[in-house]
């Protein structure tokens, strides 16, 4: 019924890359600005990886490699939130790890697509 949309698959993939890339650029940039907490979460390298990787997703370059790196980052984020900080999957009063799971799924898709 919606077979005509297959012709726009490239644009759908790029839009997903753009959205995920923008999220990582914003979060990576915040790590650079937050000097107090920066070294607790991996230092300036972590923020640099997120900013550069996000930009690479947007320009559609090394997407599989970036997907692998970001999948590892998101696995770490989920582990910290779930097992170290004991955050729930979702909550109205705080950030859970549901968004991290969606980002993990998107990056796994980038790896295998």
- Residue 75's contacts (CB-CB under 8 Å, 6 or more residues apart) are 104
Report which of 59, 42, 57 is spatially closest to residue 106, judged by C-alpha positions: 57
The predicted model scores a pTM of 0.88
Q: What percent of the chain has pLDDT over 90?
A: 68
Q: Is residue 34 predicted with pLDDT exceeding 90?
A: no
The residue ranges of every structural domain in the chain are: 18-112
What pLDDT score was predicted for residue 75? 97
Considering only residues 86 and 95, tell me which one the structure prediction assigns the higher pLDDT. 86
DSSP string, 27-82: HHHHHHH-HHHHGGGTHHHHHHHHHHHHHHHHTTSSHHHHHHHHHHHHHHHHHIII
């Amino acid at each position: 019924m919606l077979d005509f949309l297959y012709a726009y698959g490239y644009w759908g993939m790029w839009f997903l890359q753009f959205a995920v890339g923008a999220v990582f650029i914003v979060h990576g940039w915040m790590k650079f600005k937050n000097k107090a907490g920066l070294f607790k979460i991996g230092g300036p390298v972590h923020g640099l990886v997120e900013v550069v990787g996000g930009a690479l997703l947007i320009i559609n370059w090394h997407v599989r490699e970036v997907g692998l790196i970001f999948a590892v980052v998101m696995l770490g984020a989920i582990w910290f939130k779930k097992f170290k900080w004991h955050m729930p999957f979702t909550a109205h009063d705080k950030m859970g790890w549901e968004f991290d799971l969606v980002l993990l799924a998107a990056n796994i898709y980038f790896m295998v697509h």
